[in-house]
Structure 1
Amino acid sequence: MLHKTSLVLLMGTCTFACAHDLAVELDATRIDAEREAATGVQLDEPIRTGSRLGLSARETPASVSVADRRLIEARDANDSQDVINAMTGINASANPGYGGFVSYRGFTQNQVTQLFNGINLGYSSATRPVDAWMLDRVELLGGPSSFLHGAGAVGGSINYITKSATRDQQTVDARVRYASFDERELAVGVNQALASDPAVAQHFMRLDFSRSQGNGYVDRNARKTDSLALSLLSDLSPNLTHTLAIEYQQDREDSPYWGAPILPGHSAMKIDKHRRFENYNVADGRYEQRVRWLRSMLDYQVDGATTVHNTLYHYSAQRDYRNVERYSYTQAGNVLRASPYLQRHQHSVLGDRLELRHDQQLLGLASQWALGLDYSHMRQSVYPTAGNWSDEVDPEQFDPGSFYTIAGVDRGLTKQRRHVTDNRAAFAENRLQLSERLALLTALRYDYLDMHVRNYGAVSASSPARFERRWEPLSGRVGLTYALTPAATLYAQYSTAADLPAGSLAAATYANVGQFDLSKGEQWELGSKFDFWQGRGAATVALYQIVRKDFAVRDSGNPNLTVQAGQQTSRGVELSGRLQLTAKLLAEGNYAYVDAQYDTFNEAVNGVSVSRKGNAPVNVPSQVANLWLSYDFTSAWAGGVDARYVGAVYADNANTLKAPGYTLFGAFVRYRVDEHISVTGRVRNLTDQVYAKQAYGQQYYMGPPRTLEVAMDMRF
Structure 2
Amino acid sequence: MERPLATPISLAVFTLFAQGALAQEAVANKPAVLSEVVISDMSIDPLGLDQKERTGSRLGLTPRETPASVTVIDREVFEQRGAQNTQEILQGVPGITTSSAPGSPGAVFYRGFSGGSVTQLFNGITVQYDVIAARPVDSWIYDRVEAIGGPSSFLFGAGAVGGSINYVTKLANRDGNLIEGKARYGSYNDRQLAAGTNQKLGESNYLRLDVNGSAMDGWSDGTERKAWQAAGSWLADLTPQLSSTVALEYQYENVDRPYWGTPVLRPFSGEVGIDNGTRFKNYNSQDGLYKQTVKWGRWILEYRVDDTLSLRNTFYHYDALRDYQNVETYTFNANNTRVVRSNALLQRHDQNLNGNRTELNWNTQIAGLPSNWLGGIDYSLNKQTRYPLSVAGPFGSVDPYHFVTENFFSLPGVSQVYNPDRSNRVTTLALFAENRTFLTSRLSLLTALRWDDIDLEVTNHRTPTATNPAYFERNYKPLTGRAGLIYDLTPAANVYVQYSTAADPPAGILATASYAQVENFDLTTGRQVEIGSKLGFDEGRGNATLALYDITRKNLSMADPSRPGTTIPVGEQSSRGLELAATWLMTNNLRLSGNWALVDAKYDKFVENVGGVGVSRAGNRPTNIPKQVGNLWVAYTPIANLEVGGDLRYVSSRYADTANTVYDDAYTLLGAYAAYTFDKRTRVTARIKNLTDKVYAESFSGSSMMYLGAPRMLDVSIQTAF
Task: Classify the TM-score, shorter chain.
Answer: over 0.9
Q: Give the drift of 1:181.
A: 0.5
2:636 aligns with 631
Q: Give the superposed CA RMSD.
A: 1.7
1:3 aligns with none
1:343 aligns with 347
Q: Distance in 2 between matches of 1:29 and 1:579?
A: 21
Q: Give the drift of 1:585.
A: 1.0
Q: Give the drift of 1:43.
A: 2.9
Q: Distance in 1 between matches of 2:175 and 2:544?
A: 33
Q: Distance in 1 between matches of 2:567 and 2:197?
A: 45
1:257 aligns with 259
The one-letter amino acid of 2:207's match is M
Deviations 1:63-102 (A, max 9, x none): 0001011111111111001100122111011110012000
Change (3 A) 1:565 1:276: farther
Q: Which residue of the other structure, out of 132, 140, 162, is the alignment partner of 2:139?
A: 132
Q: Which residue of the other structure, out of 209, 212, 219, is the alignment partner of 2:211?
A: 209
Change (3 A) 1:259 1:143: same
Q: Give the drift of 1:411.
A: 5.1
Deviations 1:341-371 (A, max 9, x none): 1111001000000000000011111110000
Secondary structure, counterpart of 2:140 in structure 1:
helix
Q: Distance in 2 between matches of 1:598 and 1:92?
A: 21
Q: Give the drift of 1:275.
A: 1.8
1:542 aligns with 547
Change (3 A) 1:221 1:529: same
Are 1:86 and 2:95 an aligned pair? no
Secondary structure, counterpart of 2:691 in structure 1:
coil
2:492 aligns with 487
Secondary structure, counterpart of 1:407 in structure 2:
coil
Deviations 1:668-709 (A, max 9, x none): 001112222110000100000000001122001110001111
1:651 aligns with 656
Contact 2:49 2:72 in 1 (8 A): no
1:57 aligns with 63
Q: Distance in 2 between matches of 1:350 and 1:628?
A: 41
Contact 1:269 1:700 in 2 (8 A): no
Are 1:282 and 2:285 an aligned pair? yes
1:223 aligns with 225
Are 1:414 and 2:419 an aligned pair? yes
Q: Which residue of the other structure, out of 387, 390, 400, is the alignment partner of 1:386?
A: 390
Q: Distance in 1 between matches of 2:245 and 2:266?
A: 57
Q: Which residue of the other structure, out of 590, 596, 599, is the alignment partner of 2:601?
A: 596
Q: How does 1:276-675 map to 2 (within 5 A)?
A: 276-331=279-334, 333-390=337-394, 391-410=396-415, 412-551=417-556, 566-675=571-680
Contact 2:28 2:174 in 1 (8 A): no
Q: Give the drift of 1:409.
A: 2.2
1:18 aligns with none
The one-letter amino acid of 1:45's match is Q
Q: Give the drift of 1:623.
A: 0.6
Contact 2:51 2:72 in 1 (8 A): no
Change (3 A) 1:217 1:256: same
Q: Distance in 2 between matches of 1:512 and 1:415?
A: 19
Contact 2:546 2:581 in 1 (8 A): yes
1:12 aligns with none
Contact 2:360 2:374 in 1 (8 A): yes
Contact 1:565 1:602 in 2 (8 A): no
Q: Give the drift of 1:59.
A: 1.3
The one-letter amino acid of 2:64's match is R
Q: Give the drift of 1:31.
A: 5.6
Q: Give the drift of 1:40.
A: 6.4
Secondary structure, counterpart of 1:177 in structure 2:
strand
Q: Give the drift of 1:45.
A: 3.2
2:689 aligns with 684
Deviations 1:623-647 (A, max 9, x none): 1100011100112111011100011
Q: Distance in 1 between matches of 2:155 and 2:388?
A: 33
Contact 2:28 2:173 in 1 (8 A): no
Contact 1:537 1:579 in 2 (8 A): yes
Deviations 1:29-61 (A, max 9, x none): 646349865726463332211111111112100
Contact 1:40 1:535 in 2 (8 A): no
2:105 aligns with 99
Q: Distance in 2 between matches of 1:152 and 1:522?
A: 12
Secondary structure, counterpart of 1:650 in structure 2:
coil
1:14 aligns with none
Q: How does 1:179-218 map to 2 (within 5 A)?
A: 179-195=186-202, 201-218=203-220
Contact 2:119 2:160 in 1 (8 A): yes
Q: Which runs of 5+ in 2 are unaligned?
A: 1-26, 560-565
Q: Distance in 1 between matches of 2:570 and 2:251?
A: 36
Identity over the aligned pairs, expressed in percent?
48
Q: Distance in 2 between matches of 1:692 and 1:168?
A: 43
Q: How does 1:24-35 map to 2 (within 5 A)?
A: 27-28=29-30, 30=32, 32-33=34-35
Are 1:145 and 2:145 an aligned pair? no
Q: Which runs of 5+ in 1 are unaligned?
A: 1-24, 196-200, 555-560
Secondary structure, counterpart of 1:76 in structure 2:
coil
Q: Distance in 1 between matches of 2:614 and 2:177?
A: 65
Q: Distance in 2 between matches of 1:402 and 1:565?
A: 45
Q: Distance in 2 between matches of 1:313 and 1:499?
A: 23
2:162 aligns with 155
Q: Give the drift of 1:397.
A: 1.8
The one-letter amino acid of 1:157's match is S
Structure 1 window deviating more from structure 2 (379-388 vs 498-507): it is 498-507
Q: Distance in 1 between matches of 2:612 and 2:719?
A: 59
Q: Which residue of the other structure, out of 169, 172, 176, is the alignment partner of 1:169?
A: 176
Change (3 A) 1:26 1:312: closer
Q: Distance in 1 between matches of 2:83 and 2:714?
A: 14
Deviations 1:482-524 (A, max 9, x none): 0001110000000000112224111100001122111000000
Residue-pair matches, total: 681
Contact 1:152 1:503 in 2 (8 A): no
Q: TM-score, normalised by structure 1?
A: 0.93
Deviations 1:304-352 (A, max 9, x none): 1001000000000000111101111113511100000111100100000
Contact 2:42 2:591 in 1 (8 A): no
Secondary structure, counterpart of 1:181 in structure 2:
helix
Q: Distance in 2 between matches of 1:641 and 1:44?
A: 25
2:11 aligns with none
Q: Distance in 2 between matches of 1:503 and 1:426?
A: 25
Are 1:47 and 2:56 an aligned pair? no
Contact 1:503 1:551 in 2 (8 A): no
Contact 1:40 1:580 in 2 (8 A): no
Q: Distance in 1 between matches of 2:489 and 2:350?
A: 52
Change (3 A) 1:553 1:686: farther
Q: Distance in 2 between matches of 1:579 and 1:140?
A: 21
1:696 aligns with 701
